[in-house]
């Protein structure tokens, strides 16, 4: 993965289709222990939002590569006192080898990357969640042995996960359908970006009809109806999003061998039923585990682990 050395990952659009496939193959080799890589580097985690899977998987991945991790809680750094992003970036740049940032505005992430020479990874913003989608694609590839020509259907809120899924599927040669209530569509610019990547070879479909989107899909995917920072809207969203719940009825519309994914945390009985998330077609726990393997491959590729 020499092509990734020193690179930022701010968006999945930063990858080419070939780079994505090579990264997923590296993740498969690391997971199966066909390949063992080491790098004595230091990863910083600058997380302004709550995190379980992202924080723990990045930490364990870096330790398993032989590196170290510093958790830079914004509440106990000068970031919480209003230090400018560019100043923090310039300082951390002289201490760390790589930095993963979990924040709100994509623009803040980009400003940080512009003022740091070390690689910067998007560990989640309001616009995108690329690291999650790397794990999702790894899970799908494990289940079906391929990504090309499969159809992934996402139902629910057109949030950061939906945005990055469109980009990831387009890069992987997959069809992607996003079904949302009117007014909750994904980012229009990212939709056009995904369609440009797909080049008409695969489908990037937006619809308000969840049943139409679910028909003959290989993957059904959902996320919470109110993301971090939107919790105050949760009660108002309930009746609007109810038709977009992944239930056994919706799952019956998909292919017989379809799998179900959820990036977690899940609100059972809301965006997904208990029966489906605990059912035989759920791959949610494999998907969560694969955060570790996909991010280990990402760190190894960017840091040039040997």
Contact 165, 133 (CB under 8 A): yes
Residue spans in the chain of domains classed CATH 3.40.50.1370: 2-128+291-303, 132-287
Cβ atoms within 10 A of the Cβ of 34, count?
8
Contact 303, 42 (CB under 8 A): no
Alpha helices, DSSP H, located in the chain: 17-31, 53-64, 85-92, 106-114, 130-144, 160-172, 188-198, 210-214, 234-241, 248-251, 274-277, 284-303
Predicted pLDDT of residue 192: 98
Q: Is the pLDDT of residue 13 over 90?
A: yes
What's the CA gap between 159 and 177, in Å, rounded?
14
Q: Which SS3 state, helix, strand or coil, does residue 89 take?
A: helix
Q: 283-303: per-residue pLDDT in tens? A: 999 999 999 999 999 999 999
What is the average pLDDT across 271-288? Answer: 98
Choose, from 237, 291, 293, 295, the residue flagged as catalytic: 291
Choose, from 8, 126, 157, 223, the residue flagged as catalytic: 223
CATH for 2-128+291-303 is 3.40.50.1370
Mean pLDDT computed over every residue of the chain:
96
Cα angle: 182, vertex 175, 53; to 5 degrees: 80
232 has catalytic annotation: no
Q: Which CATH architecture has domain 132-287?
A: 3-Layer(aba) Sandwich (3.40)
Predicted pLDDT of residue 40: 95
The predicted model scores a pTM of 0.96
Choose, from 8, 21, 53, 129, the residue flagged as catalytic: 129
102 has catalytic annotation: yes
281 has catalytic annotation: no
Choose, from 106, 132, 141, 295, the residue flagged as catalytic: 132
257 has catalytic annotation: no
Choose, from 8, 97, 102, 143, the residue flagged as catalytic: 102
Q: 152-200: per-residue pLDDT in tens? A: 999 999 999 999 999 999 999 999 999 999 999 999 999 999 999 999 9
223 has catalytic annotation: yes
Where does the pLDDT of residue 228 fall: very low under 50, low under 70, confident under 90, or very high at 90 and above?
low
Contact 290, 26 (CB under 8 A): no
Q: Is the pLDDT of residue 219 over 70?
A: yes
Q: Is the pLDDT of residue 223 over 70?
A: yes
Two structure tokens written together for 208? 């308000």
Q: 76-118: per-residue pLDDT in tens? A: 778 767 889 999 999 999 999 999 999 999 999 999 999 999 9
What is the average pLDDT across 260-282? Answer: 98
Choose, from 39, 143, 263, 283, the residue flagged as catalytic: 263
What sign results for the dihedral spanned by CA atoms 135, 136, 141, 142?
Answer: positive
What's the CA gap between 93 and 99, in Å, rounded?
9
Predicted pLDDT of residue 234: 77
Predicted pLDDT of residue 135: 98
C-alpha 81, offset from chain centre: 29
136 has catalytic annotation: no
Q: Give the strand pairing for 98-102 and 42-47.
A: parallel
């Amino acid at each position: 993965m020499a092509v990734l050395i020193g690179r930022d990952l701010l968006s999945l659009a930063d990858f080419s289709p070939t780079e994505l496939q090579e990264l997923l193959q590296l993740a498969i080799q690391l997971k199966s222990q066909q390949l063992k890589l080491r790098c004595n580097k230091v990863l910083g985690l600058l997380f302004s939002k709550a995190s379980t899977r992202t924080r723990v998987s990045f930490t364990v991945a870096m330790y398993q590569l032989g590196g170290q991790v510093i958790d830079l809680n914004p509440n106990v750094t000068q970031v919480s006192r209003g230090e400018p992003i560019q100043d923090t970036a310039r300082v951390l740049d002289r201490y760390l080898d790589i930095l993963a940032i979990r924040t709100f505005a994509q623009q803040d992430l980009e400003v940080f990357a512009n003022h740091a020479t070390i690689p910067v990874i998007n560990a989640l913003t309001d616009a995108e969640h690329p690291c999650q989608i790397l794990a999702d694609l790894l899970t799908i590839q494990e289940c079906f042995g391929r990504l090309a020509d499969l159809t992934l259907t996402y139902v629910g809120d057109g949030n950061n996960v939906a945005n990055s899924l469109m980009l990831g599927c387009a890069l992987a040669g997959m069809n992607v359908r996003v079904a949302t209530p009117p007014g909750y569509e994904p980012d229009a610019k990212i939709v056009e970006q995904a369609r440009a990547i797909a080049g008409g070879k695969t489908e990037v479909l937006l619809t308000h009809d969840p049943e139409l989107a679910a028909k003959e899909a290989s993957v059904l995917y959902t996320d919470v109806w109110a993301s971090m920072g939107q919790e105050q809207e949760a009660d108002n969203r309930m009746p609007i999003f109810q038709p977009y719940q992944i239930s056994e009825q919706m799952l019956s519309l998909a292919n017989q061998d379809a799998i179900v994914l959820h990036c977690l945390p899940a609100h059972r009985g809301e965006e997904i039923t208990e029966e489906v998330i605990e059912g035989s077609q759920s791959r949610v726990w494999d998907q969560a585990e694969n955060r570790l393997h996909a991010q280990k491959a990402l760190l190894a590729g960017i840091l040039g682990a040997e």
